[in-house]
Amino acid sequence: MAAIPPGDHKAYMRLALAQAHNSPPKPTNYRVGAVLVNSATNEILATGFTLELPGNTHAEQCCFMKLAERHGVPEENLRDVLPSELALYTTVEPCSKRLSGNLPCVERVRRLAGCIRTVYVGIMEPETFVAENTGKRSLEDAGINLVHVEGFEDEILKVATAGHVNG
């Protein structure tokens, strides 16, 4: 893969979308991709996609779980080992509620406030599984910017809903 120029948000969103394609289609989840980038060095620290790891995992969760394992720390202690200028690219807005009982992705991102400065999203979460997602407000309350990267909405929705009855 060719290097992505610093600040090329569309290229990073394309990489997140490529990750989403790796997720198995199911009627009960969105196929989402995520990429965590050190903004200071332009280094990709982790990628993830829905159901990449066992346990009904979401894309952002997979990024953080893989990083925690790489650094030998529990996920809740990741902020102790990560740089302070991170950007998270995710095809769909991080969830604010998990019906599975797992920690919502918004809470996982909020734990990294001060490290993650901006979350770039391709689309806001549709209300199919979680009505009234409060993720954007919750992230902004934690000092994390949420930025919509435009131009991918149709493709992201097509990938995200593959496997849905009317998707």
Q: What torsion, rounded to 10 degrees, do the Cα atoms 10, 150, 82, 70 define?
A: -70
From the list 52, 60, 93, 125, the catalytic residue is 60
| N-to-C CA span, the chain | 30
65's enclosing H/E stretch is helix 59-71
Tell which residue, 13, 14, 68, 25, has the closest CA to residue 158. Answer: 25
The tokens for 8 are 């090329």
AA letter at 144: I
Annotated catalytic, 60?
yes
Q: What amino acid positions are annotated as catalytic residues? A: 60
